[in-house]
Structure 1
Amino acid sequence: MNQLKVISLDGQLVTESRDVAEMVGKEHSHLLRDIDSYIQVLGKSNFGLSDFFRESTYQAGTRSYKCYLLTRKGCDMVANKMTGEKGVLFTAAYVTRFEEMEQVLNKPKSQLEIMQMQIDQMIKQEKRLNEQDNRIEKIETEQQNITEIIGLSVVEWRKKVTNILNRIAKNNGGFEMYQEIRNESYNLLEERAKCKLSIRVTNKQKVMALNGVPKSTVNKVSKLDAISEDARLTEIYLAIVKELAIKYRVSFTDFEVI
């Protein structure tokens, strides 16, 4: 029977279900099934599951598999279901290993160990401060992005709008999302401005045809062309695009400066 491995995890001593299964001569899958049944019963009461079992995973090749981390109480529960020599030996083994680990953890620290703990604490504190600085920098960048979005000018706005919608599409699934995002902007415009862009496009095409514009050019008329002809629609549409950029958290750092 192999020696049970006991570790400290978040201040709690635990051992892994694979080691327990090997120690008691049981298939790991069968032990998992037993523990699942214990958890199902415990879940119906006020007992904290983490006081007994903590679900985890382990790697085998490129795949992850389920396992459990058992506390001393969890081992007690498994042992209580066992009879015979294996049950006795397992109980003796886990009680011994848990007590040994408790003694190690409670042993007075040497000056060197205390210094190492202080250094580790300083490293953790510095890491937390760096993470906080990064969060602040990210917030400031997002605020700057929003400021630039709000300052979007009507001058050459069609190119800027295309840049924004391209970025939104790229951040949310790639090129195939572009038309979906564009349609979302058009639908919001129609709802807000109480208009039908398809009718405006048709009317514009009729006027162009009457004026002798080649059919190939007439057929290329888009909803964006219809928006461009109406100052009110243009202003509303730009506001909508700004809102979409903020909604999808688009960064302006990658945009071409015009």
Structure 2
Amino acid sequence: MTQLVFIREGQAVTDSLTVAREFGKDHDHVMRDIRQQLKKLQEADETEWSVANFGEAQYQHPQNKQWYPKFDMTEDAFAIVAMSYTTPEAMKMKVKFITEFKRMRNELTINTQALSPELQMFNQMFQAVAKVELENSQLKNDVNAVKQQLDNQAEILALNPTEWRKKVRSLLNKIAQKRGGHDAYSEVNSESYELLEQRGNCKLGIRQENIKKRMALEGAAKSKINAISKLEAIAEDSRLTEIYLAIVKEMAIKHSVKVD
């Protein structure tokens, strides 16, 4: 049986990754459910309770080694989040979680009460030291995550303006995947063009049509004319190219995408 509940800082907790795995849900969806409940708790002026029962943390993905957010949850926090999971299978899983929380609580109580007063004192000291070590470890992980992000940003900012088209397409595709999949590429692409038109005070559609008209007058093949994109209109103007590169870099950094 996989572990549903574990001990952290002397308290029985589970986390969003475990909930997603056991309930057969995407982790992003569980994170969304948690944030919705946190928003409702904030609206109900229960922020202090939220802080005591939800702990935001990070985990490292085993494949790409990137760091992503997760939530640790007490039994009460788990109950609030899982409240909306009402299928028969979900009800069975909630019973398993609650049973495991109870077992962990009993185990903690028995283990602590069985200690002599001196050992209980040492246990409290150990828990305090362990908490400090955990915080230091988390701080180290946070520093490494920030360093990795800064390194990636440096790579993005160093994109060569003379060899930019392939990288731009790659970055926009990755941003689209962050937003829900390849189907979002058209939306992301359009957004980048809209930002360029606002910042560069231009109309890419008009520039695109002007290029097509010029090519038609020069006798270019119709297939080549139809293949002219807004990217060609950007490439014709070095000022627009620089502005567009800056926009795509900003979007990439905002969405924490990585340069190949």
| TM-score, length of structure 2 as denominator length | 0.56
CA pair 219-108 structure 1, distance change in 2 beyond 3 A: closer
Residue matched to 1:248: 255
Q: Which runs of structure 2 are paired with 1:1-258 in the superposition (5 Å)?
A: 57=79, 60-63=91-94, 109-252=116-259, 255=260
Superposition RMSD on alpha carbons, in Å?
Answer: 3.3
Q: Which of the pair has more CA radius of gyration?
A: 1
The residue type paired with residue 125 of structure 1 is: V
Which is further off, 233-242 or 108-117?
Answer: 108-117
Q: Structure 1 residue 244: deviation in Å?
A: 1.1
Q: Structure 1 residue 118: deviation in Å?
A: 2.8
Q: Structure 1 residue 251: deviation in Å?
A: 2.6
The residue type paired with residue 183 of structure 2 is: E
Q: How many residues align?
A: 169
SS at match of 1:168: helix
Residue matched to 2:41: none
Q: Structure 1 residue 55: deviation in Å?
A: 6.1
Q: Structure 1 residue 233: deviation in Å?
A: 0.9
CA pair 223-145 structure 1, distance change in 2 beyond 3 A: same
SS at match of 1:249: coil
Q: Distance in 1 between matches of 2:115 and 2:247?
A: 65
Q: Distance in 2 between matches of 1:179 and 1:135?
A: 34
Q: Structure 1 residue 149: deviation in Å?
A: 2.0
Q: Structure 1 residue 63: deviation in Å?
A: 4.6
SS at match of 2:202: coil
SS at match of 1:217: helix
Q: Distance in 1 between matches of 2:246 and 2:123?
A: 57
Q: Structure 1 residue 143: deviation in Å?
A: 1.8
| TM-score, length of structure 1 as denominator length | 0.57
Identity of aligned residues (%): 40
Q: Structure 1 residue 137: deviation in Å?
A: 1.1
Q: Structure 1 residue 193: deviation in Å?
A: 1.2
Per-residue CA deviations over 1:207-250 (Å, capped at 9, x if unaligned) read: 11122211111111100011111111111111111111122222
Q: Structure 1 residue 150: deviation in Å?
A: 1.9
CA pair 108-145 structure 1, distance change in 2 beyond 3 A: closer
Q: Structure 1 residue 114: deviation in Å?
A: 2.7
The residue type paired with residue 93 of structure 2 is: T
Per-residue CA deviations over 1:147-180 (Å, capped at 9, x if unaligned) read: 2222221121001111111111111111011111
SS at match of 1:62: helix
SS at match of 1:61: helix
Per-residue CA deviations over 1:5-46 (Å, capped at 9, x if unaligned) read: xxxxx99xxxxxxxxxxxxxxxxxxxxxxxxxxxxxxx9xxx
The residue type paired with residue 92 of structure 2 is: G
Residue matched to 1:93: none
The residue type paired with residue 242 of structure 1 is: K
Q: Structure 1 residue 124: deviation in Å?
A: 2.4
